[in-house]
Structure 1
């Protein structure tokens, strides 16, 4: 989800190194695995440019963009739940 959120926020393709910088506490191996899975699932697309050094960018596919409203609803729910938990802690 974090990768998808970063690609939504960027509103343009991101290179691997940019994604790595934007995502806290992720190692290269895990990021590579997640990107491969998202590509396999049709959520993101990987574009390789024929240059030296190689340039690779990632962007959301139409299927990935279609996740936007659902992700926004989930994020809204998470914030509401967090506020609820904070309020419950204050009441204890």
Structure 2
């Protein structure tokens, strides 16, 4: 759940379902109108994970950490898929 805490009250501006659905997606619902109000009018502080989420949603530019994480994941997958191929090549030489 995404909430903003102001004084002694909090306002819910969205929800997050951490359990993956049938397509392995975790769903987030945000009220963009209220979010823009709190960011623009009330100068709300936004944490880095929320900035990343808002970048993926298209409200803000994509955060640099998102690009870094994607590159690292891509390199990890390439190294994992390249390892069996190199092992197969060494077996073919024998």
How does the TM-score come out when normalised to structure 1?
0.35
Q: Using CA pairs below 8 Å that are at least 6 residues apart, which structure has the higher relative contact order?
A: 1
Return the structure number with greater helix share. Answer: 1
How does the TM-score come out when normalised to structure 2?
0.34
Find the structure with the greater CA-based Rg.
Answer: 2
